[in-house]
Chain A
Amino acid sequence: MIMAMNYSENVMDHFTNPRNVGEIEGASGCGTVGNAVCGDIMRMYLDIDDDGIIQDAKFKTFGCGAAIATSSMATVLVKGKTVQEALNVTNKAVMEALDGLPPVKVHCSLLAEEAIHAALWDYAEKNGITIEGLEKPVADISDHH
């Protein structure tokens, strides 16, 4: 394993072999956060069943190694969880699961949390439901298109 930028082995693993890359057609929820000017965009797709359990999660990310690794880890962590439990997948949880990030890369993990929230928000809106504790995500780039 190549070590670079002081990334942990786990980060490099998720960067080199990202889990759950792709799209979900007819996803229950899809959210995009970040913007190209800042150099980070994350898009997350969620497939949520009738019991509110996340059956599948996929992502696409434009960004640095940390952004890709945190997206990958975020999809791993939300899979199999209920919508409510997915809200507990915070940036801190993603970072811990990756054995930490260099200080300059902490903002990438915030983007992963935002991407989960954006996808959940989209799911809630589509289904006319309210997810307790979920606030409208702020960094949705679809606003700028």
Chain B
Amino acid sequence: MKQIYLDHASTTPVRPEVLEAMLPYFTEEFGNPSSIYSLGQTASDAITTARETLATTIGATATEIFFTSGGTEADNWAIKGFAHANAAKGKHLITSSIEHHAVLHACEALEREGFEVTYLPVDEHGLLRPEDLKAALRPDTILVSLMFANNEIGTIQPIGDLAAIAHEGGAVFHTDAVQAFCHEPIKVNELGIDLLSASAHKIYGPKGVGMLYVRTGVKLRNLLNGGQQERGKRATTENVPGIVGFAKAAALAAADATLEHDRQQTLRDHAIRRVLAEIPHAKLNGSWKNRLANNVNFSFEFIEGEGMLLQLAARGICVSSGSACTSGSLDPSHVLLAIGLPHEIAHGSLRLTIGRSTTLEEVDFAIDSLETTLENLRMMSPLYEDFQQGKVDSVIKQYAADGFPYTN
């Protein structure tokens, strides 16, 4: 069966050119970058070039780029490393309620050590309100960590405004840009970003490599102690093929960034319009305007998400859900709850994320399949039966009545 992969926010396939660039560093150019003979120097040079490429992508200098094992390590390092190095200045941090668990759980770990963390709320579209950040800043606030774009609902935050407010309050600004890096234009100096996390496998690079941008002068405590790699900031022999692949992926993305962004956005808008026009009891989650070009996230009433995913998987369609059942916990996604979705419709959510290979035909097939799947599941649903008999009200209808724009 043909697989239709619409889960690019989870991970992406490695582009052939990326793989090709990586391959020599597994075999003939296998040297340890710390070795002084030429085999080592070739590997070292490859890292230097990669660092420069990635720095250019975000308008930074090469000495501000540190390679990590991925986005999670970059987030942990930025948050814990900064807090530990700067605790003398204050022990208060600010983040948001819709961050990735890499940020949320790093903050929770700091709370257990005696740091205080404020979790900013978001509005019904998943957007942060700059005035909330302003109000949360305290004299002892050392770090503000707010994600560039959300992994579930695709909401893009006003990062420049938020960073400016953080700086006015004397705090350093970190952003988890894992979903936005190479998808949205990011220039750290224009936006005022001091720390930025990114990952290779979200941009058609390999898994197991990421980076942390650290503005010159920002002090972090090391997470990993050992050798002198990454200028003594992160010990462990460098993942040379991964780093080379990461840079190659970023360079390739830059080559047609605007074109591909707009192409995916057209497909996204087509999908959103079709769902709103054709599928009853549906609600778009997240802002339509301030949204990643590849993200579609809907809640469908009277059904549960896992059943929807399994039926779509049976048709070869790979998508994901904010349903509890897919995560093994009983609570639905913290992001969907943070935008105010009641549990019953948060359970019935679907995320579809478009990628470079996605065609209009694939999107249409997915939406057609979704319609069939929802009809099947609603026929089976006691909630739908009660709704049809007038015993329960539609939650989504209430959203529409309250003036929420993107519902059906």
Contacts and interface: CB of A to CB of B under 8 A. Distances in A.
B383 A62 contact: yes
B385 A68 contact: no
Interface in A94-121: 104-105
Given A18-B380, A32-B382, A39-B323, A62 B304 contact: yes
Interface stretch (B176-184, B186-194, B324-332): B324-332
Interface string A52-76: 0000000011111111100000000
Nearest to B306: A64
B10 interface: no
A23 interface: yes
Contact of A62 (B311, B381, B391): B381
A4 B385 contact: no
A37 interface: yes
B310 interface: yes
Contacts of B314: 2, 16
Query: How many A residues are at the interface, by size bracket?
Result: 20 to 34
Contacts, number: 83
A104 B303 contact: no
B370 to A, nearest CB: 16
A23 B386 CA distance: 12
A4 B313 contact: yes
Given A15-B307, A16-B314, A39-B323, A61 B330 contact: no
Interface string B340-352: 0011100100000
Interface in A1-53: 2, 4-5, 12, 15-16, 18, 21, 23, 32, 36-43
A126 interface: no
A104 B326 CA distance: 10
Nearest to A102: B328
B224 interface: no
Which 5 residue pairs of A and B lie closest in terms of their CB atoms, listed nearest first?
Answer: A36-B344, A64-B306, A64-B325, A43-B382, A60-B382
Interface of A: 2, 4-5, 12, 15-16, 18, 21, 23, 32, 36-43, 60-68, 104-105, 145
Given A36-B344, A64-B306, 13 more contacts: A4-B309, A4-B313, A5-B326, A16-B310, A37-B342, A38-B330, A39-B332, A39-B347, A60-B381, A65-B306, A65-B310, A66-B325, A67-B307
